[in-house]
Structure 1
């Protein structure tokens, strides 16, 4: 029995890849090269060292507390700030993911198009097909997610390994080309590497913070791990290193192979494919074949990533909330912790978000577009609260089996810096919208939507919780 139980557990490397797959994206490198040029390299480095690494260390320490729960970010915030703030932080995290899923399903058909045809066939004439495909993918991937983490972790395992492999291959060949006489397509100078500290830079830098955050994803699977107290902190460290390294060195490699102007001309959807084709051509290889291989790997990895993003926030939100905080239909769990009902309800919401604009239902269309705008920064409060929770945890001299920071003073300074970056990120991410508004009225509306949106959505979630708990208390009294 003991041996059988052990074989059912997730390995440390599986959790590493469950974290890497949804967090790292090669497209993030090309997008930010377009926005920042060579200045993207030090920017990724700063974000990795001052935000991603500290957050990962906070998570590793909080997850190692004796008798810690298994709901990831909910449990960790609860340790430092209590149940109320844990709910607020996790609800914010869940809301941002819900609206993120609405947009990402349209990316998979484009990846499949590159795999089959070596180009994006979903341009102006065929773009209208993407929403229909998105609905199918939402339903299909939800079905896969309901089969449990152990089943889809195999996809994530494969996707993670392939992603790391093609990223390493790209980096190695980019530098081999440079060493064998192929000139860099970008000039690296002290001036070009130095960011221009204007509103556009701060807006882009803020989104970099969100691009690297992701160590919390693996946390919801702690209880499925073999020897979690020992292996989870290791998994967090390894995942952090791999993601940070890939973004920093990957940005250098991309700039060596292609200039920011060339990448910008390719467009956001197709830039990563064009960069791989350019690298292949530099070595006399068939670029179209290389693109197809890259697109196939990207498709497998993305499918795994989207399943994790569908599953993980639900575990965080519904697994350990007090009884009565949500209707029982949402909190019902399978033996392995899978929330089948919640997954299908989430799927229904995502399908509605996709379908309403498709049929142009007037006021509803505008309403859902507004909701999407309101949720743009909703994940930032969750990361800020996680850092604040760790600050409070160490301030109260609480202990865990693993201690990331031996010095309490140093731990508080690092946590304080992460909190500051989260706050600045929240402010900076919306700056471009406001600064480039065409009128004072438009700037005011955008400011309210961008910065007030997450607060409004958190308030809605909190009122829902209060209402559910009151109803539950009345039912208990009536028994």
Structure 2
């Protein structure tokens, strides 16, 4: 049977489900307001489309590679750099894992109380401790295997995807059903309303846009399962970009209808999605039903994401780890195959980030904003390796064959990879600047700046230390073997 049966529209839909979610709309609207509509169109045209097509060529070229990005890097450069790529892929999940317990608490609060007061009324130290307990519980459960939860989480993820589309349809359609509905943002029919102010403050927010459209490397395994990759894969990616554009633009317009762009609520990043469904439920006469359904599906989805993201990235890092770069103690498994010290290292690093806010965060909304922005700085670091591998691929293009090519000219291909690489780095570096007024809370401003810089630096430095420990272990083992 010919396995190359996946059509371009199927790949586009699979990729859309992987990349997109309502949180992307809410988080970016909370930072830029209605002018984010223009930002979405720019980021999709200048960054996301070339990014997705680059991934397609890498996936097609290295179709037998199981390690994803790290395999691409190893094939185009060295084993050492491949290790750093694998380490980066794993370590960027540390802040991501640290945020999940907060998201679970917020969703639970809305499902139980019907508003955001349950968590917002809690002191930050209590939120941090509750988040730590939740994380440690799921860290322990992950060592026992959570296959059932992962299946349920997959269903919840699909439900979340449906809710994201439903939100757009209900919000955009609300004025047609309720002619008396008041539009929160003024002058939404004027083009000038959607033009951003391209100042320094604006550029500090683009890391959130990069974070939102990232993750396209997950679709690489599907490239070679297509009937005609060279023709169909680009079609699928343009379909993906079109769906993301429609969802982002209409979703942002929907947010503008519900929340005033010139007076964005301070808790929008924390409670915006729930509040939006609550408002829509009131318009359509179903009370809190939409909000409760969203809160429950989001809570289950977040629980599954927490469980899955503890184990899966760790397996990718350590499953075929090179003894030259990864110490033996980190690769040790129990009789049941559990990476016990890998889980221990994950637990220590995530616990530190969960407890960091005790030093310099004063309230729940500030905590959510800081953690979300920290993720937008750290998570895109893994995309850098995708673009690095693509640049190296174009430097030695005669050595590789691919059924699909983004561009046939290797010089143009190298330039495209370099553009995406430096744009990602630019977004991450500027994203480190805190998104709060220095004069209002200088202590919190400095805390966020320092942690936004130190977190990625420290996480990468740990990865640089491990090869030295691995070499020391190898020398010790060789010395012991010589003595025997």
Range of TM-score over shorter length? 0.7 to 0.9
Which residue of 2 is the match for residue 367 of structure 1? none
Which residue of 2 is the match for residue 317 of structure 1? 317
Distance 1:443 1:141, change over 3 A: closer
Distance 1:211 1:438, change over 3 A: same
Contact 1:73 1:316 in 2 (8 A): no
Distance 1:80 1:216, change over 3 A: same
Could you tell which deviates more after superposition, 416-425 or 340-349? 340-349
Distance 1:168 1:441, change over 3 A: closer
Could you tell which deviates more after superposition, 105-114 or 134-143? 134-143
Could you tell which deviates more after superposition, 110-119 or 63-72? 63-72
Q: Name stretches of at least 5 consecutive residues in structure 1 with no aligned partner.
A: 7-11, 361-370
TM value normalised by structure 2: 0.77
Which residue of 2 is the match for residue 276 of structure 1? 277
CA distance in 2, matches of 1:392, 1:439: 45
Structure 1 residue 230: deviation in Å? Answer: 1.4
Contact 2:434 2:448 in 1 (8 A): no
Contact 2:391 2:417 in 1 (8 A): yes
User: What's the RMSD between the two structures over aligned residues?
Assistant: 4.4
From 113, 116, 128, give the equivalent of 2:109: 113
Could you tell which deviates more after superposition, 227-236 or 201-210? 227-236
Contact 2:183 2:258 in 1 (8 A): yes
Contact 1:373 1:453 in 2 (8 A): no
Structure 1 residue 126: deviation in Å? Answer: 6.2
Which residue of 1 is the match for residue 477 of structure 2? 475
Q: How many residues align?
A: 453
Could you tell which deviates more after superposition, 395-404 or 203-212? 395-404
Which residue of 1 is the match for residue 365 of structure 2? none
State how 1:385-424 maps to structure 2 within 5 Å. Answer: 385-397=385-397, 398-408=399-409, 409-424=411-426
Distance 1:395 1:179, change over 3 A: farther
CA distance in 2, matches of 1:382, 1:138: 23
State how 1:9-408 maps to structure 2 within 5 Å. Answer: 20=17, 24-66=20-62, 68-120=64-116, 121-125=118-122, 128-143=125-140, 145-146=142-143, 151-180=148-177, 181=179, 182=181, 184-186=183-185, 187-188=187-188, 189-216=190-217, 229-230=224-225, 237=237, 243=244, 245-261=246-262, 263-264=264-265, 266-286=267-287, 288-331=288-331, 339=339, 342-351=342-351, 353-354=353-354, 377-397=377-397, 398-408=399-409
SS at match of 1:260: coil
Which residue of 2 is the match for residue 363 of structure 1? none
CA distance in 1, matches of 2:108, 2:441: 41
Please give the per-residue CA displacement for 1:34-74, whole angstroms capped at 9, x wherever unaligned. 32122111212222333333333333332333464323332
CA distance in 1, matches of 2:299, 2:323: 39
Contact 1:77 1:89 in 2 (8 A): yes
Distance 1:263 1:118, change over 3 A: farther
Structure 1 residue 375: deviation in Å? Answer: 8.8
Could you tell which deviates more after superposition, 63-72 or 435-444? 435-444
Structure 1 residue 112: deviation in Å? Answer: 0.9
Distance 1:345 1:451, change over 3 A: closer
Q: Name stretches of at least 5 consecutive residues in structure 2 with no aligned partner.
A: 4-8, 361-370
CA distance in 2, matches of 1:337, 1:80: 31
Distance 1:159 1:325, change over 3 A: same
SS at match of 2:92: helix
CA distance in 1, matches of 2:306, 2:122: 27
Which residue of 2 is the match for residue 368 of structure 1? none
TM value normalised by structure 1: 0.78
Structure 1 residue 358: deviation in Å? Answer: 6.6
SS at match of 2:119: coil
CA distance in 1, matches of 2:102, 2:26: 19
Structure 1 residue 259: deviation in Å? Answer: 2.3
CA distance in 2, matches of 1:260, 1:40: 10
Contact 2:38 2:194 in 1 (8 A): yes
Structure 1 residue 249: deviation in Å? Answer: 2.9
Distance 1:429 1:413, change over 3 A: same
Distance 1:476 1:350, change over 3 A: same
Contact 2:92 2:382 in 1 (8 A): no
